[in-house]
Amino acid sequence: MSLLPLFRFPGLVVLARSPKFWFLCSILFAVYYGGCGLLQAFSSTYVVQDDAREYVFWMQRFIEPDLFTNDLIADYFQSITPLGYATLYQIMAAIGITPLLLSKILPICLGILTTIYTFWLSLRIFPLPITAFISTLILNQSIWFSTDVASATPRSFVYPLLPAFLYYLLQNSRLAITIIMILQALFYPLLIFLYTGILIIHWRKHLFPLILILGLTAIVMSPYIISASQYGPIVSWHQALQMTEHWLGGRHPFFDANIFRFWLMGQHSGILPGVMPPLIWISLLLPFCQRKSFLFPEIRYLKNADTQILVTMIGIAIALYFAAHLFFLKLFFPTRHTIHLFRVIMAITAAIVLTVFGKFALFKYQNLPKLYWHKIPLFLLLLTFSLTLLFYPNFLKTYPKAEYKIGRHPQLYEFLQQQPTKTLTASLSDEADNLPTFSHRPILTSREHALPFHLGYYQQIRQRTSDLINAQYHPTLQPAQDLIKKYQIDYWLIEKNSFQPEYLTKRTWLNSFQPAFNQAINYLQHQQKPAITSHIKQCTAWQNQTFWLLKTTCIINAS
């Protein structure tokens, strides 16, 4: 795209046409967005990303091997963690970078890698440097509208690996593709199905390299498949349909009575990505630009052979989306097969459309009458459009959407850290989500860790949670004493406002644990005093304005 009308200095014109210049600009914006995330990550002493509370806490074992010994929750999340992802954290822990620290600095590194590959991928598809810059800018804005990269969980590695795979696929580099396939299998195996589909179509005449790559990938994935299967079986579609956990308000909603929302925008069921920069939707005008090539001559730079491969990948992703609906949870959630690819390709195509539109507008600007007041409206329009493209996210209060959680009770974490490593804490409070990460001590159950996918795991969590609800609200002390003995609980964390009906009704995820939940509501509504309340004063080992932390040996010995 020629920027000559905007620049009167030859040096600036040369610079604006330089791939190195636009590549540097791309990296700077990637650092900027990642830096905004870092500010949130280090805003307090106790901070952790929402989803990292599932995948990162158990990795403290790499530093202290005695932690979480024979702990159901830690063992489960270790089993569903891809090997490459866990190995990376283990290597970093060996050189002194704790898992929690690594989870905070990884996103900016992944964002930069994503930018590098997206820039050169875009340049391969549409060889104008400014287009490559715009594509990286839009993609960076898009990925920071979601928590995918910010979470530093296995799915975070999709964004550097997917553009890398597309780039090497268009380059027809078999060695590089093999490496990317293996890395994908090690870090986020789900996208292997997408890669396999395009390779089968693209390399159907080259069976030996195809079989070799797929064989190596299968070997790399096998430990992950075997490890996760020990907590099977996976919940079926008919089982999930009967579970409130998979409806709106449940722990992991999938089903939705609103058909439009279910198929298009559902968090786990919809075919489209969630919130994205508004300008990314201009990508849908690419076919219009191709049909009106006499108005947009720069569209001739678009390489049809490359775009055909990308269109084929979109078709495969859509097929996998429907297959994932058909084989519920066997291919994990349907939306995971489309949203990542759509974000990358839409960012690049949006950049192409913006480039050809921009060239058209500049041409019109250049050919307007020389009277300056004729040019002012178009100039202001171009300026507004450019500033919006560059700085739109800065106008939003919740950007970037990293969803970091701040631990509000450091004294509680420090108290539990001083206890033996096997100290088990039970709590219905949302604070239980944070305890494994911040206190490095196991918990009985929590919302964050109650994933209703593998029944071998979830049935145990379901029983634990039901037992805990019943014990905390029962008018006699026996259920509490039985709970403590059954699970060998050491401490019981209770919120001071937890004996009001509203406390339970606001925690919609607990509604799944019937009949214990409804029975607890009934006790409170009929003013049947929970027996545990009579022993709080003498059994409190630690407290603040929000919590009581009860020593369970005191409850066991109570009459």
> Residue 15: what pLDDT?
60
Give helix then strand counts, H and E, for the chain. 25, 6
Among 5, 376, 312, 42, which residue's Cα sits nearest to residue 169? 312
> What is the predicted pLDDT for the residue at 8?
46
Q: Which amino acid is at 493?
A: L
181-233 pLDDT tens trace: 899 999 998 898 899 888 888 877 777 777 877 777 777 767 666 666 788 78
Is the Cβ–Cβ distance between 63 and 98 less than 8 Å? yes
The per-residue pLDDT for 216 is 73
Spatial strand order in the sheet of 540-543: 425-427, 491-495, 547-551, 540-543
167-172 own/partner pairs: CB under 8 Å, 24+ apart: 167/117, 167/120, 167/121, 167/124, 169/198, 169/202, 169/309, 170/121, 170/124, 170/125, 170/306, 170/309, 171/124
Q: Give the chain's length.
A: 559
Q: What is the pLDDT of residue 366?
A: 61
- The 10s digit of each residue's pLDDT in 10-42 is 454 556 678 899 999 999 999 999 999 999 999
pLDDT for res 559: 67
Confidence band of 376 (pLDDT split at 50, 70, 90): low
Chain Cα centroid distance, residue 504: 28
pLDDT of residue 9: 43
Residue 358 binned pLDDT confidence (cut-offs 50, 70, 90): confident
Handedness of CA 154, 155, 156, 162 (dihedral sign): positive
Residue 207: predicted pLDDT: 73
Q: Indicate if the pLDDT at residue 312 is higher than 90.
A: yes
DSSP class of residue 339?
H
Mean pLDDT over each residue of the chain, to the nearest integer: 88
Identify the band that residue 5 occupies on the pLDDT scale cut at 50, 70 and 90. Answer: very low
User: What pLDDT is recorded for position 512?
Assistant: 92
Give the residue among 167, 157, 119 at the shortest CA–CA distance from 139: 119
Res 377: pLDDT: 65
Q: What is the pLDDT of residue 248?
A: 87
Query: Read out DSSP for 373-435?
Result: HHHHHHHHHHHHHHHHHHHGGGG-TT-S---EEE-S-HHHHHHHHTS-TT--EEE-SGGGGTH
Q: Are 134 and 126 in contact (CB under 8 A)?
A: no
* Structure-block tokens of residue 435: 């305890």
**Could you read off the pLDDT of 426-476 as tens digits, one per residue?**
999 999 999 999 999 999 999 999 999 999 999 999 999 999 999 999 999
User: Does the predicted TM-score (pTM) go above 0.85?
Assistant: yes
Task: Report all structural domains of the chain as residue ranges with CATH numbers, in order of start.
Answer: 20-232+271-395 (no CATH), 409-557 (3.40.50)
User: Can you tell me the distance from the alpha carbon of 101 to that of 119, in angstroms, rounded to the nearest whole number?
Assistant: 28
pLDDT reported for residue 360: 78
pLDDT at 441: 96
Residue type, position 173, single letter: S
